[in-house]
Structure 1
Amino acid sequence: MSEHERGYDEKRDFIRMRVDANVSLIHAGQEIEGICLDLSSSGMQVQAPRQFSVGDQLTVRIDSEHAALKGLEADTEVVWTKTAGDEQHLGLKILNMR
């Protein structure tokens, strides 16, 4: 099925880029290591080793592996969660880029 044949609800507003990058999640003074699975201009999907709740505010930091490129740091909000065993996938909305 082509993109034009899909219903409006199935189309994403923003293109997502598969990332699979290590991230630091900062919440309530704690830094937790996670994995960014995909990234768009308005949000990201992250895999975390602990549970968060919808509405939690997290600072996300993705360090660059290249000295010439600055990493990403963003203030985010958890908009959805999906638990998978001891881990959780999080849908994060980017509120502010630093």
Structure 2
Amino acid sequence: MSRIHADYSEKRDFIRMRVDKDVSIIHADQVIAAVCLDLSSSGLQVQAPRSFKVGDALEVRIDSDHPALKGLEASTRVVWIADQAEGQQKLGLRIIEMH
């Protein structure tokens, strides 16, 4: 299956919600501030200030703005990367497990 077909298929299968929300990425015991651009039931797209590789395991934490609601914490894996200006990357993260 081509990458274009896979992208289209994924868009049909999962509803994406634009969130534009600050997130914390935990990788190799480092906490990296990033921005979640969109979220679906199976993954998220993140703008990160440094480079990762496809296959990297990342913990992601999105804090809730509402005191009565728990934030999102998940184990994820990098499934695609788009390099951006100034060493940043957009990352496609697949959710492996919710905590």
TM-score by shorter chain over 0.5: yes
> Aligned partners of 1:8 and 1:90: how far apart in 2?
16
> Aligned partners of 1:57 and 1:96: how far apart in 2?
11
Per-residue CA deviation, residues 7-43 of structure 1 (Å, 9 max, x unaligned), is 8962421000000000000001000000000000000
SS where residue 66 of structure 1 aligns? coil
Task: Give me the identity figure in percent.
Answer: 63
RMSD: 1.5
Q: For residue 3 of structure 1, what is the aligned residue in structure 2?
A: none
SS where residue 76 of structure 1 aligns? strand
Provide structure 2 residue ranges, at least 5 long, that are not aligned to the other structure: none
Tell me the CA shift for residue 82 of structure 1. 0.4
Q: For residue 39 of structure 1, what is the aligned residue in structure 2?
A: 39
Q: 1:10 aligns with which of 2, 8, 16?
A: 8
Q: For residue 90 of structure 1, what is the aligned residue in structure 2?
A: 91
Q: 1:8 to 1:22 in 2, by over 3 A?
A: closer
Provide structure 1 residue ranges, at least 5 long, that are not aligned to the other structure: 1-6
Per-residue CA deviation, residues 21-78 of structure 1 (Å, 9 max, x unaligned), is 0000000100000000000000000000000000000000000011011000000000
Q: 1:51 to 1:9 in 2, by over 3 A?
A: closer
Q: For residue 59 of structure 1, what is the aligned residue in structure 2?
A: 59
How many residues are treated as equivalent by the alignment?
A: 92
Task: Check if 1:26 corresponds to 2:26.
Answer: yes
Q: Which stretches of structure 1, 4 residues or longer, exceed 6 Å deviation after superposition?
A: none
Q: Which has the higher helix share?
A: 2
Q: TM-score, normalised by structure 1?
A: 0.89
